[in-house]
Homo-oligomer: A and B are copies of this chain.
Amino acid sequence: MPPATVSFLDLTQEEALYWLALRMTPGLGTRRAGQLIDIFRSPRAVLRASRSELEAAGLGAAVAQSLASGCAFEDAASQQEKLAEAGGTLVPVTDSRYPPLLRDIYDPPPLLFVRGRIELLETLMIAVVGTRRPTPYGLTAASRLSRDLAVAGLTIVSGMARGIDTAAHRAALEAGGDTIAVFGCGIDQVYPAENRKLAEEIASRGVVISEFPMGAPPYPQNFPVRNRIISGMSAGVLVVEGSEYSGSAITAKLAAEQNREVFAVPGNITQKTSWGPNLLIKQGAKLVQEWNDVVVELKPEVRRRLVDQCRNKLKIGDLDSSESSAESSASVQGGPMHGAAQAVLRVLQPDSPTALDYLVEAVEGSSPSEIIAILFELELAGVVRQLPGKNFIKVWAD
């Protein structure tokens, strides 16, 4: 079936009302709503259709009546009000800003409720998920990998749950990277309550999304449904810690069904929280020791996009906003990538590893984040290899 017309403009008030009315119609499921959009091309057309037209499209009598009666408009109006109060926006599946990979899953949500930087929905995403009761090791691994992946240019997607999710979001923000929180409740709700500040920060520096209407409470049954969005938006799902039967195991299963890469961080076999990731690896998930283990599994065009992104950031000198403007302008003028990459390669040895800290000191005129980005490019190009403990070697001698 051809997709409905795609637009990149914000909805008009009236269009928004129709989308919301469709969303609020009792008994109308995600799949069915998506099919109606495909058939009638717009929610307005669906809601203006007669009962018999709707029944001809395969709807049951009760739902057809609900739709045709327009009874959902009252709820829709109230939703619109709440959305405005929360400073939120609607991104329907027909919007060009809708997450591209999410559009391809079996049951994409027809309508997303969004707060924050909508443009992030079009970026390359990697989901980082795990247990709500992590060990210190799990928190360290989640933070380190999320930070490195964010610096490499991937947007970190998670569910803002306690534990691993929270660590992943925070690490991305702290690295100046991008992050998306997918809620299992309305975007005007906060769950868990202790994450109120984090939710606000994500809504301002990242983006918060949900398929659940404004005011929807965090019902337990929402979370598995929500998890399909986390994996569906992302190129892959990285599971950090979790038991064999955890929510993250479910997300990993969904990811595999959606044909997404599944990644897992191994852990000691004596540690219960590592049982899930270790089991996933046994079942075929990719073992992740460091960020590049994720990146190498991405499609070549995706990797190229990351490198370009990285290069652009460096050229305009805004990778690290804490850089002095003098340094930034020097970078712009001198063609920094080339010069600094040469300097990095001069310091690196082919036989003995060089520590990142040492590199940062030895290469003058480049900020730590520039050095990291350069190492990232060189590693992707196969010229440099990372060893344990943030050490680097040159792959070939000069």
Binding site for B on A (CB under 8 A): 137, 140-141, 243-244, 265-272, 274-275, 278-279, 281-282, 286-290, 293, 387-389
Instruction: Give min CB distance, A33 to chain B, whole Å.
Output: 36
Instruction: Give min CB distance, A146 to chain B, whole Å.
Output: 13
Instruction: Give min CB distance, A308 to chain B, whole Å.
Output: 27
Chain B residue at minimal CB-CB distance from A265: B269
Q: Which residues of B contact A287 (CB under 8 A)?
A: 266, 278, 281-282, 287
The answer to whether A244 touches B140, judged by C-beta atoms less than 8 angstroms apart, is: no
A-B contact pairs, 9 of them (CB 8 A): A243-B388, A266-B266, A266-B268, A266-B274, A266-B278, A269-B288, A272-B388, A272-B389, A278-B289
The answer to whether B270 touches A140, judged by C-beta atoms less than 8 angstroms apart, is: yes
Give complex CA distance A271, B243 in Å.
21
Q: Which residues of B contact A275 (CB under 8 A)?
A: 289, 388
Q: Which residues of B contact A266 (CB under 8 A)?
A: 266-269, 274, 278, 281, 287
Instruction: Give min CB distance, A183 to chain B, whole Å.
Output: 30
The answer to whether B269 touches A141, judged by C-beta atoms less than 8 angstroms apart, is: yes
Q: Which residues of B contact A141 (CB under 8 A)?
A: 268-270
Chain B residue at minimal CB-CB distance from A135: B268
Instruction: Give min CB distance, A281 to chain B, whole Å.
Output: 5
Give complex CA distance A265, B282 in Å.
11
Give complex CA distance A288, B281 in Å.
10
Q: Which residues of B contact A388 (CB under 8 A)?
A: 243-244, 272, 275
Give complex CA distance A288, B287 in Å.
13
Chain B residue at minimal CB-CB distance from A269: B289
Q: Which residues of B contact A387 (CB under 8 A)?
A: 244
Give complex CA distance A269, B267 in Å.
7
Q: Which residues of B contact A293 (CB under 8 A)?
A: 282
Contact status of A282 and B272, CB under 8 A, knowing A244-B387, A244-B388, A267-B267: no
Closest 10 pairs (CB-CB, A-B): A266-B266, A275-B388, A269-B289, A282-B287, A281-B287, A137-B268, A267-B268, A278-B289, A272-B388, A266-B278
> Which of B269, B282, B290 lies in contact with A269, CB distance below 8 A?
B290
Give complex CA distance A282, B284 in Å.
10
Q: Which residues of B contact A278 (CB under 8 A)?
A: 266, 287, 289
Q: Which residues of B contact A274 (CB under 8 A)?
A: 266, 268
Give complex CA distance A266, B244 in Å.
16
Q: Which residues of B contact A270 (CB under 8 A)?
A: 137, 140-141
Q: Which residues of B contact A268 (CB under 8 A)?
A: 137, 141, 266-268, 271, 274
Which of A141, A243, A271, A278 has its CB near the most chain B CB atoms (within 10 A)? A278
Q: Which residues of B contact A272 (CB under 8 A)?
A: 388-389
Instruction: Give min CB distance, A393 to chain B, whole Å.
Output: 11
Chain B residue at minimal CB-CB distance from A279: B289
Which of A266, A271, A289 has its CB near the most chain B CB atoms (within 10 A)? A266
Q: Which residues of B contact A389 (CB under 8 A)?
A: 272
